[in-house]
Amino acid sequence: MEPRLLLVPLGCLALLLPPPGAAEFSPSLDSDFTFTLPAGRKECFYQPMRKEASLELEYQVLDGAGLDVDFHLLSPKGETLVFDERKSDGVHTVETEDGDYMFCFDNTFSTISEKVIFFELILDNMGEDGQDEEDWKKYVTGTDLLDMKLEDILESINSVKARLSKSVQIQTLLRAFEARDRNIQESNFDRVNFWSMVNLGVMVVVSAVQVYMLKSLFEDKRKSRT
């Protein structure tokens, strides 16, 4: 079956790429996405990257039999950078060049079970650092009179922003783990209930058979003569 290529929705791309001309303290972007991958299907996504940037991708299979999927990451030249076979999760980081990177989730090996997949993209060095530094230099003039320079303020803000961004990423991953654990627990709960009902049914049938057999042992089968 030929893979069906699915472009990242425009709403997601708007989150992944900064608006033109926007000045950022730290050129680091992240976005997450959850989707359902049907049985026997393959879904691919594209992410445009800049040269000397960094692409970090983490994925998890939240629900579905086996909790596994095949994962492929290809460079703009079509070279396979990462290939995971039948994995439930993975984290990969690559240094990028100009072009569109393609990553695919393959569930063609499964003929019955669909998979619910969560993935998060973290893009580093996507902004123009040199331009940002030039913009800040315009405001450095006259800061000698201040105890703290604008560079120090910028460094402190970048540090706080980086820690907050890391906290958000950790919370997102914890929510994904919680969703997967909840799906496993619900699946186990349904399985326990099903087999409990089966055992109960077997016990009722066995009890009825035993009562019937005991009753038949004490019945007087001799015919009375008139």
Alpha helices in 80-149 (DSSP H): 129-137
pLDDT number for residue 203: 92
Q: For 89-93, 113-117, 173-177, which range has the lowest pLDDT when averaged over its residues?
A: 173-177
Q: Which residues pair with 92 in a beta bridge?
A: 57
Round to whole Å and give the CA distance between 174 and 170.
Answer: 6
pLDDT(25) > 70: no
Single pTM value for the model: 0.56
Instruction: Identify whether the C-beta of residue 39 lies closer than 8 Å to the C-beta of residue 109.
Output: no
Where on the phi/psi map is residue 102: left (φ > 0), alpha (ψ -120 to 50), or beta?
A: beta
d(CA 175, CA 185): 15
> Residue 15 has which token pair?
């989150």
Q: Judge contact between 11 and 85, C-beta under 8 A.
A: no
Q: How far is CA 220 from CA 96, 114, 204, 213, 215, in A?
A: 91, 61, 27, 14, 10
Residue pLDDT, tens place only, 50-71: 988 999 999 999 888 888 999 9
Task: Say which residues have a Cβ less than 8 Å from residue 17's Cβ, sequence separation at least 6.
Answer: 29, 48, 126
pLDDT, residue 74, reads 94
Cα gap 75→5, rounded to integer Å? 16
Residues 6+ apart with CB under 8 A from 85: 70
